[in-house]
A and B are shown apart, each in its own frame.
Chain A
């Protein structure tokens, strides 16, 4: 099956610093990638939809200036948490959809990145 990787798998940073998380589709091209956030014992919450070569579409309530998304190629999307604070500590997960003519493309998820802000 299609493989999606994330880097780093975990990161600890000081409050006020910025953290970049990478999401890569390893064996397929993905026009669209998605970023989710998951707090402990809660479900995944969609943050934004990332389209290659264009600006990301953010869900309501997600600050676009705080969570910068770049999708520069068909295999790489990055999420930068700017000026991170302890409340940004969470499990960040990306997913990617196959670029094809199929109408029922499933999304393939990365393993997630655990961010802890001290």
Chain B
């Protein structure tokens, strides 16, 4: 599976949009981009995933560049409860395919 690069930490003001970048320059054509987050001392939570089109759900939007070498997770209106470590992972789709977690980005939402 391709590796990803994310900033170590980011700050965001409450109520503003949080834009979390991820570089995955070696992504293969059959690899999806997944985003998970982990609030302190809890299990990771699935946020969103995509292959090449932009995706949106009730939690976030995922913007993938045309060359698929990078993506951005957007939380449109960050709240204090969105403070967490956000992980960008690329992997081939399939129920039996494992997720390999990198170091992620610690997003701190400030009041």
CB-CB < 8 A to B104: which residues of A?
43
> Which secondary structure dominates where chain B touches chain A?
loop
Interface-centre pick from B43, B96, B102, B104 (highest chain A CB count, 10 A): B43
B96 to chain A, nearest CB (A): 5
Across the interface, do A99 and B43 meet the contact criterion of CB distance under 8 Å? no
How many chain B residues touch A (CB < 8 A): the figure is 24
Residue in chain A with minimal CB distance to B102: A43
B1 to chain A, nearest CB (A): 11
CB-CB < 8 A to B93: which residues of A?
102-105
B49 to chain A, nearest CB (A): 6
B23-45: contact bitstring with A at CB < 8 Å (1 yes, 0 no)?
00000000010101010011111
Please measure, in the bound complex, the distance between the C-alpha atom of A49 and the C-alpha atom of B91, giving whole angstroms.
Answer: 15
Across the interface, do A111 and B43 meet the contact criterion of CB distance under 8 Å? yes
- Asked if B98 lies at the interface with its beta carbon under 8 angstroms from chain A, I say yes
CB-CB < 8 A to A34: which residues of B?
98-99
B82-98: contact bitstring with A at CB < 8 Å (1 yes, 0 no)?
00000100000111101
Are A43 and B95 also in contact (CB < 8 A) when A104-B32, A109-B43 are?
no
CB-CB < 8 A to B44: which residues of A?
44, 93, 95, 109
Across the interface, do B101 and A49 meet the contact criterion of CB distance under 8 Å? no
- Asked if B100 lies at the interface with its beta carbon under 8 angstroms from chain A, I say yes
Interface-centre pick from A43, A49, A93, A98 (highest chain B CB count, 10 A): A43
Chain A interface (Cβ within 8 Å of chain B)?
1, 4, 6, 31-32, 34, 36, 43-46, 49, 51, 91, 93, 95, 97-100, 102-112, 114
Chain B interface (Cβ within 8 Å of chain A)?
32, 34, 36, 38, 41-46, 49, 51, 87, 93-96, 98-104
Q: A44-B44, A46-B98, A107-B46 are in contact. List 10 more A-B contacts (CB 8 A).
A: A1-B46, A32-B95, A44-B38, A46-B100, A95-B43, A97-B95, A100-B95, A102-B93, A104-B32, A104-B49
